[in-house]
Amino acid sequence: MPQEGSDNYRRAYARQIVRLAEVRNGRLKQAFASVPRETFLPPPPWTVISRGMATQTSDIADIYDNVLVAIDLDRGINNGEPALHAAWIDAIDPQPGETVIHVGAGTGYYTAILALLVQPDGRVEAFEYEADLAAQAERNLGAYANVTVHAASAFGRALPKGDIVYVNAGVLAPDVEWLRALNPSGRLIFPWQPHKGWGPALLVTRRSRGFDVQSLMRVGFISCSGATEKISISRVPTEADLALVRSVWIRSDRQPDSSAVAVYDDVWFSSVEPEDRSGRDRG
Q: Sign of torsion, CA 125 186 221 238?
A: positive
**Residue 159 clears pLDDT 50, i.e. is over it:** yes
In a domain, 275, yes or no: no
What are residue 5's phi and psi, to 5 degrees? -65, -45
- Assess contact for 205 and 110: CB atoms under 8 A: no
pLDDT of residue 278: 38
Neighbours of 120 (CB within 10 A): 7
Each residue of 115-129: pLDDT tens digit? 999 999 999 999 999
Residue 173 forms part of a structural domain: yes
Asked if the structure places residue 116 within a domain, the reply is yes
- Enter the pTM of the model: 0.90
In 3D space, the residue among 264, 218, 204 whose CA is nearest the CA of residue 237 turns out to be 264
Domain interval for residue 209: 80-270
CATH number, domain of 212, equals 3.40.50.150
pLDDT at 231 > cutoff 90: no
What is the percent of the chain with per-residue pLDDT over 90, rounded to a whole number? 72
So what's the pLDDT on residue 281? 42
Q: Residue 220: beta bridge partners?
A: 198
- Is residue 198 a part of any domain in this protein? yes
Is the pLDDT at 11 greater than 60, yes or no?
A: yes
**How confident is the prediction for the chain on average, in pLDDT?**
89
Model pLDDT, residue 169? 85
215-227 per-position pLDDT tens digit:
987 765 555 544 5
120 belongs to a structural domain: yes
Report whether pLDDT(155) > 50. yes
Residue 260 domain-assigned (yes or no): yes
Query: Quick one: average pLDDT of 19-25?
Result: 93
Higher-pLDDT residue of 196 and 42 is: 42
Q: Is the pLDDT of residue 230 over 50?
A: no
**Residue 61 within a domain:** no
For residue 45, say if its preceding peptide bond is cis, omega within 30 degrees of 0: yes
Residue 46 lies in a domain: no
The domain total for the chain is 1
Higher pLDDT, 283 or 203: 203
Dihedral (CA of 25, 185, 252, 226) sign: positive
